Amino acid sequence: MVITKTIKVDSKKELDMINITDKVQDAVGRSGAKTGTVTIFVPGATGAITAIEYENGLLKDFAGALEKIAPKHLDYEHHKKWDDDNGRSHVKASLIGPDMTVPFKDKKLILGTWQAIVFVELDTRPREREIILQILGE
């Protein structure tokens, strides 16, 4: 059985990390499937999905590491194309990736105690995002 659900999130700024664990659990719980996987996918080239302990200090640490990988003040080739300012956003998004697949059993996501599912806003401005949950199970 395949069930498609959608989560809407409004990001506030660049590197906003939004905890969507409860929303994913809720969708899985209501899907009718007892066991299976949920693929969490952001249709957008400047957002990403990953897992993290959702603690403010750590969110800053993660943002700091991403800034070193694709710093704000580099001259990105991408900016020449569209007069855009989000070259760094794309680079980070392609590295983390737009998808994550999480198993569930007895209608419950199998996650570690401190492990949250997060949407990472990498774009340089606030965005309204629609995140897809594709639930496969029985």
What is the distance between the alpha carbons of residues 46 and 26, in angstroms, rounded to a whole number? 26
What is the distance between the alpha carbons of residues 86 and 79, in angstroms, rounded to a whole number? 7
What is the distance between the alpha carbons of residues 130 and 127, in angstroms, rounded to a whole number? 10
User: Using CB under 8 A, which of the segments 7-15, 19-27, 74-82 binds its own copies?
Assistant: 74-82
What is the distance between the alpha carbons of residues 116 and 106, in angstroms, rounded to a whole number? 19
Q: Is 30 in the site for its own copies (CB under 8 A)?
A: no
Q: Is 55 in the site for its own copies (CB under 8 A)?
A: yes
Q: How many residues bind its own copies (CB under 8 A)?
A: 59
DSSP output for 110-135: ---TT-EEEEEE-SSS--EEEEEEEE
User: Using CB under 8 A, which of the segments 7-15, 22-30, 43-51 binds its own copies?
Assistant: 43-51
Q: Is 124 in the site for its own copies (CB under 8 A)?
A: no
Token pair, residue 56, equals 């403010």
Residue selected from 11, 91, 121, 123 as contacting its own copies according to rule CB under 8 A: 91
Interface residues toward its own copies, by CB under 8 A: 1-2, 4, 35-37, 39, 41-45, 50-53, 55-58, 60-62, 65, 68-70, 76-82, 87, 90-91, 93-103, 105, 110-112, 114-115, 132, 134, 136-138
